[in-house]
Amino acid sequence: MINKNQVNHIKAEREVLVKAKNPWIVDLKFSFQDDKYLYLVMDFLPGGDLMTLLMRKDILSEEESRFYIAQTILSIESVHRVNFIHRDLKPDNILIDKEGHVKLTDFGLCKHAEIRPSRMTEINTKELSFNFNQLKSALDKKLGYKRTR
């Protein structure tokens, strides 16, 4: 880490994971270090990443595209709520949980910024969690089945 000048990247990653405790971000369970390594223990997400899904399916249906885009927008918004900008958003960094829902990861290139929410985007954490569950239900109902992988 130190030899590769990665200290700031690791600090940014950990800071976002600690601050952004919500269903759209990979959950940091523990972090610890020994003399040689720093360890970040995070959620296991068996759905893989969006890039693998795109390569496997080649083309997503319109419903699937809407599903993943909507959840990706909400995950990006949750990062902005804790005043960070992701800066490395790509399908490889959009992970899929066991129910098929999106979680954002890889915050090493994040940049702290003072992001002022507009009145339209001001939502407290309880509402965000409620909205997540509401969106999951609506999307599952619209797709006609519970997404599993």
List of domains in the chain:
7-143 (1.10.510.10)
Note the pLDDT of residue 122.
Answer: 53
Note the pLDDT of residue 89.
Answer: 93
Instruction: Encode pLDDT of 116-145 as tens digits.
Output: 766 545 555 566 566 667 777 766 666 654
Instruction: Encode pLDDT of 40-99 as tens digits.
Output: 899 999 999 999 999 999 999 999 999 999 999 999 999 998 898 898 999 999 999 999
Cβ(59)–Cβ(51) below 8 Å? no
Question: The whole model's pTM is what?
Answer: 0.73
**Higher per-residue confidence, 115 vs 108:** 108
Tokens of 113: 């910024």
Instruction: Encode pLDDT of 22-33 as tens digits.
Output: 999 999 999 898
Note the pLDDT of residue 4.
Answer: 57
Q: Is the pLDDT of residue 8 over 90?
A: no
Note the pLDDT of residue 16.
Answer: 86
Note the pLDDT of residue 124.
Answer: 59
Backbone angle region of 87, left / alpha / beta, with phi > 0 → left and psi within -120 to 50 → alpha: left
Catalytic residue among 27, 34, 88, 92: 88
* Residue 88 is a catalytic residue: yes
Instruction: Encode pLDDT of 100-112 as tens digits.
Output: 999 999 988 888 8
**Higher per-residue confidence, 128 vs 115:** 115
